[in-house]
Structure 1
């Protein structure tokens, strides 16, 4: 699973229309979010840093909710965009999820455990868990 990193609003127009998970590394305006959803018809998740989450308007939250797009908080720790525009969620995490599920562990406990072990936050882990 890959997360497309967008560092500047100017990059929105250059995105692949099939992107599903996008991390906005800048403080998005309402217009930025509308342009992103218009450009990427298949987007399922928009992740923004916690410090920017408080500035997202209620109207954008409602718009994303109506579009069935999850708005989650989080960062992509240690990622260097100058090397790769995608942050790849390791297959080790998928394997770990499978192992923990086979032990009968609940998704809540898995998300807690993996958020402490890795670089992903709970909200992103819940999304990954819902996909598998």
Structure 2
């Protein structure tokens, strides 16, 4: 069975919509620019080398997971009706995104913006 990665997320990354087979749908990693701003403070701002990993076929993704620089990462999980849920590892270099930032994130260009935070990801 084929799954389409969410075109809205890929458009922000400068990629065309694509389909992947089920085994590949688990994860697809690219590098690019990414940022994470929480409560007005920038925690991640990486140019060209940010690890952006798509989880499954619905457009959900992580930024900067599996790296130690600067030690923060975020999960963006697609919900219904154009919304996303975002969580992050509020404590640097911890391995789980235990701190929820909300379920009110909407896409604007290559960014997902909520009341408390903004997560951006762009393919280089």
TM-score by length of 2: 0.28
In terms of Rg, which structure is larger? 1
Structure with the higher fraction of residues in helix conformation: 1
Structure with the higher fraction of residues in strand conformation: 2
